[in-house]
Structure 1
Amino acid sequence: MNAPFLPNPDLPSGDSGMLQPPRANSTPALDSASPIARNFSPDMTLPSVPKLRPSGPLAGVPVAIVGAGPVGSWTAALFGHAGAAVRLYDDGILNTGFVNAGWGFAYHSSDPAAGPLAAQGIELYRRLAGTVLPRGVVTEEWSTVQRARNAEPLPAGLAGLPGYRLLELEELYRDMIEGVIVKSVVVPGQLLLPALADLHQQYGVRRIHQHVPDPAALTDAAFVVNSTGLASAWLFEDTEFSPSMGTVVRLQKPEGFTGVHAWDNGTNTAPYAISQEATGQVVVGGTTTPVSVAQARRWVEAGSQPDEETGERVLEQIKSYLPELSEAEFVRTDTGIRPERRRILLARHHGDTTVFHATGFGGFGVTVAPAVALRLVEAAIAAVAT
Structure 2
Amino acid sequence: MNIDAPRIGVIGAGVVGLTVADILQKTSKANVTVMADGFGEDTVSAVAAGIFRPGTTFRGPTKEITKKWINDSWHYWQDILKSSEANHAGIFSFNCYVYSTQSYQATRNRLIEDLVPYYKEMTEDELRIAGGEQKYGSCFSTVKIGCDNYLPWTEKRLKRNGVRIVREKVESFESVKKKYDLVFNCTGLGARYLCDDENVVPIRGQIAKVKAPWLKASFYSDYADTYIIPGIDGVATLGGVRNYDSYNKKFNKHDAAAILERCYTLLPPLRKALVVGHRVGLRPHRDIVRVEPEILGDLKVVHCYGHGGYGVTTAPGTALHAVSIGMDLLRTKHKL
Give the TM-score of the pair, scaled to structure 2. 0.86
Quick check: 1:359 aligned with 2:305?
yes
Corresponding residue for 1:316? 261
Identity %: 21
Structure 1, residues 157-182: CA drift from partner, whole Å, max 9, x if none?
Answer: 34313201111134336444432111
In the alignment, the residues of structure 2 paired with residue 381 and residue 84 of structure 1 have an alpha-carbon distance, to the nearest angstrom, of 10
Contact persistence 1:307–1:334 (CA under 8 A):
no
CA 146–109 in structure 1, closer or farther in 2 if over 3 Å, else same: farther
Q: How many residues align?
A: 317
In the alignment, the residues of structure 2 paired with residue 105 and residue 222 of structure 1 have an alpha-carbon distance, to the nearest angstrom, of 35
CA 192–91 in structure 1, closer or farther in 2 if over 3 Å, else same: same
Query: Structure 1 residue 106: deviation in Å?
Result: 4.0
Secondary structure, aligned partner of 2:318: helix
In the alignment, the residues of structure 1 paired with residue 80 and residue 107 of structure 2 have an alpha-carbon distance, to the nearest angstrom, of 32
1:83 paired residue among 29, 33, 41: 29
1:200 paired residue among 158, 161, 174: 158
Q: Which amino acid in 2 is paired with 1:144? A: Y
In the alignment, the residues of structure 2 paired with residue 85 and residue 230 of structure 1 have an alpha-carbon distance, to the nearest angstrom, of 26
Structure 1, residues 290-340: CA drift from partner, whole Å, max 9, x if none?
Answer: 125xxx2xx4xxxx4433431222111111110011100111000101111
Residues 67-216 of structure 1 mapped to structure 2, 5 A cutoff: 67-81=12-26, 82-92=28-38, 95-111=43-59, 112=63, 113-129=65-81, 131=83, 133-136=85-88, 137-149=90-102, 154-160=108-114, 161-172=116-127, 174-215=132-173
Quick check: 1:225 aligned with 2:173?
no
Corresponding residue for 1:333? 278
CA 259–78 in structure 1, closer or farther in 2 if over 3 Å, else same: same
Contact persistence 1:59–1:85 (CA under 8 A):
no
In the alignment, the residues of structure 2 paired with residue 59 and residue 350 of structure 1 have an alpha-carbon distance, to the nearest angstrom, of 22
Q: Which amino acid in 2 is paired with 1:385? A: R
Query: Structure 1 residue 155: deviation in Å?
Result: 3.8
Q: Which amino acid in 1 is paired with 2:260? A: L
2:320 paired residue among 369, 374, 381: 374
Query: Structure 1 residue 287: deviation in Å?
Result: 1.2
In the alignment, the residues of structure 2 paired with residue 381 and residue 235 of structure 1 have an alpha-carbon distance, to the nearest angstrom, of 23
In the alignment, the residues of structure 1 paired with residue 82 and residue 4 of structure 2 have an alpha-carbon distance, to the nearest angstrom, of 27
Corresponding residue for 1:287? 241
Query: Structure 1 residue 101: deviation in Å?
Result: 0.4
CA RMSD of aligned residues (A): 2.5
Structure 1, residues 248-278: CA drift from partner, whole Å, max 9, x if none?
Answer: 11111143x211111123xxx22110011x2
Contact persistence 1:249–1:284 (CA under 8 A):
yes
Query: Structure 1 residue 131: deviation in Å?
Result: 3.4
Corresponding residue for 2:196? 237
Contact persistence 2:208–2:279 (CA under 8 A):
yes
In the alignment, the residues of structure 2 paired with residue 259 and residue 115 of structure 1 have an alpha-carbon distance, to the nearest angstrom, of 25
In the alignment, the residues of structure 1 paired with residue 312 and residue 162 of structure 2 have an alpha-carbon distance, to the nearest angstrom, of 23
Secondary structure, aligned partner of 1:211: coil
In the alignment, the residues of structure 2 paired with residue 123 and residue 162 of structure 1 have an alpha-carbon distance, to the nearest angstrom, of 12
Secondary structure, aligned partner of 1:243: strand
List gaps (5 residues or longer) in structure 1.
1-51
Structure 1, residues 203-255: CA drift from partner, whole Å, max 9, x if none?
Answer: 21111111111135411211101111011112212121232111111111143
In the alignment, the residues of structure 1 paired with residue 58 and residue 18 of structure 2 have an alpha-carbon distance, to the nearest angstrom, of 25
Contact persistence 2:107–2:137 (CA under 8 A):
no
Query: Structure 1 residue 115: deviation in Å?
Result: 4.3
In the alignment, the residues of structure 2 paired with residue 132 and residue 236 of structure 1 have an alpha-carbon distance, to the nearest angstrom, of 40
Q: Which amino acid in 1 is paired with 2:53? A: F
